[in-house]
């Protein structure tokens, strides 16, 4: 499947909110997202894109439609995500865990992003109330700003049995590389795993992602689902790193808030003989929430779609 849109996120702190909004009905959230990307090999040239994102909640299922892009069907009951390409009329599926691992913003040079057969990830998150900015009104509700600073570092972790006896050369056995673009979801090409021998000389040894900015929270909206992080499909477009979005979602849920706006800077740093830094500025704001009934068919793969590669 080919699409450049494969590719929104307090101990002792309290959020001043009113009583939670409890929704037992279907929920449709419409938001607008703008991302501006600076490529390291384009002499500082920027590309800016804007999309409308519609997120549909119905029980244990969620659908995310991106204008001019793919659609994503989350099935929380079986922890699976289906990626639909409306142009080719094909679909593919990933476990939720694998899907989150491969999230990235639009227009990044994904050839710089390396995935080994075995990855070790370290995630840090600082999420605290902003004491400088004043609350503003979004969707007729008072929204409070919170600062988010997070990092995710992925390193290849080679099993002992695959390590070369002579450690003076080589690379990382079982390495892999993801290709293609993506916003703000997994890239369109399939993960390919290298055989023994690892990365070529000068290959990427780790990838570090920093996300810094602000998240605006209003009163809580709960969804009729047992899934631990129901806000994930909403957060991933604005916080395009699965593990970080999951951590931010957990903090927001503890604060009993609802993310109505996200403004962050995403920086990916890849350690190589020639380091590669890529920067994306992302602004995402909810424009409409309604509880009109949603047909079950919205959460089913269309009959005229065929299974295809990612």
pLDDT in tens, 274-303: 556 788 999 999 999 999 999 999 999 999
Give the predicted TM-score (pTM) of the model. 0.74
**What pLDDT, on a 0 to 100 scale, did the predictor assign at position 155?**
75
200: confidence class by pLDDT, cuts 50, 70, 90: very low
114: which DSSP letter? B
Q: Is the pLDDT of residue 134 over 90?
A: yes
107: confidence class by pLDDT, cuts 50, 70, 90: very low
Mean pLDDT is lowest, of 33-42, 229-238, 277-286, for 33-42
In percent, the amount of the chain with pLDDT more than 70 equals: 67
**What pLDDT, on a 0 to 100 scale, did the predictor assign at position 121?**
82
**What pLDDT, on a 0 to 100 scale, did the predictor assign at position 218?**
96
Beta strands in 90-135 (DSSP E): 90-95, 119-129
**What pLDDT, on a 0 to 100 scale, did the predictor assign at position 4?**
37
For residue 116 the two structure tokens come to 């080994």
Question: Once rounded to an integer, what is the mean pLDDT over residues 42-60?
Answer: 86
For residues 260 and 108, the model is more confident at 260
Question: Once rounded to an integer, what is the mean pLDDT over residues 227-239?
Answer: 91
Q: Is the pLDDT of residue 43 over 90?
A: no
193: confidence class by pLDDT, cuts 50, 70, 90: very low
d(CA 21, CA 290): 12
**What pLDDT, on a 0 to 100 scale, did the predictor assign at position 163?**
53
**What pLDDT, on a 0 to 100 scale, did the predictor assign at position 52?**
96
| Beta-carbon-side half-sphere exposure of residue 199 (alpha carbons within 13 Å) | 24
Single out the residue of 83, 7, 81, 88 nearest to residue 51, CA to CA: 7
Which residue bears the tokens 């369109």?
188
For residue 266 the two structure tokens come to 């995403």
d(CA 75, CA 57): 11
Q: Is the pLDDT of residue 173 over 80?
A: no
Highest mean pLDDT among 20-29, 59-68, 170-179: 59-68
**What pLDDT, on a 0 to 100 scale, did the predictor assign at position 158?**
59
* pLDDT (tens digit per residue) in 242-282: 889 999 999 999 999 999 999 999 998 876 655 567 889 99
d(CA 168, CA 181): 35
**What pLDDT, on a 0 to 100 scale, did the predictor assign at position 42?**
54
Q: Is the pLDDT of residue 140 over 80?
A: yes
Q: Is the pLDDT of residue 17 over 60?
A: no
Mean pLDDT computed over every residue of the chain: 76
For residue 240 the two structure tokens come to 């395009």
**What pLDDT, on a 0 to 100 scale, did the predictor assign at position 208?**
86
Single out the residue of 76, 70, 67 nearest to residue 30, CA to CA: 67
d(CA 53, CA 38): 22
């Amino acid at each position: 499947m080919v699409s450049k849109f494969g590719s929104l996120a307090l101990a002792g702190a309290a959020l001043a909110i009113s009583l939670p909004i409890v929704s037992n009905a279907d929920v449709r959230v419409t938001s607008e997202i703008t991302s501006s990307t600076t490529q390291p090999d384009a002499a500082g040239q920027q590309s800016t894109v804007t999309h409308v994102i519609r997120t549909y909640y119905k029980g244990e299922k969620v659908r995310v439609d991106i204008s001019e892009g793919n659609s994503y069907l989350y099935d929380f009951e079986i922890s699976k995500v289906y990626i639909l390409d409306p142009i080719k009329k094909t679909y593919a599926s990933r476990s939720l865990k694998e899907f989150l691992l491969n999230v990235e913003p639009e227009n990044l040079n994904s050839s710089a992003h390396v995935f080994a057969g075995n990855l070790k990830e370290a995630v840090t998150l600082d999420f605290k109330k902003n004491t400088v900015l004043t609350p503003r009104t979004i969707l007729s509700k008072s929204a409070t700003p919170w600062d988010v600073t997070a990092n995710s570092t992925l390193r290849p972790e080679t099993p002992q049995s695959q390590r070369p006896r002579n450690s003076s050369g080589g690379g990382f056995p079982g390495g892999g590389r993801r290709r293609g673009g993506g916003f703000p979801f997994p890239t369109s090409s399939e993960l390919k795993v290298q055989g023994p021998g690892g990365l070529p000389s000068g290959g990427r040894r780790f990838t570090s992602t920093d996300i810094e900015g602000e998240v605006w929270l209003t009163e809580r909206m709960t969804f009729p689902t047992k899934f631990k992080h129901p806000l994930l499909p909403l957060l991933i477009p604005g916080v395009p790193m699965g593990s970080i979005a999951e951590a931010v979602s957990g903090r927001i849920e503890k604060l009993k808030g609802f993310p109505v706006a996200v403004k962050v800077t995403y920086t990916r740093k890849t350690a190589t003989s020639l380091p590669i830094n890529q920067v994306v500025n992302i602004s995402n704001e909810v424009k409409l929430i309604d509880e009109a009934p949603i047909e079950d068919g919205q959460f089913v793969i269309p009959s005229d779609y065929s299974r295809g590669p990612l």
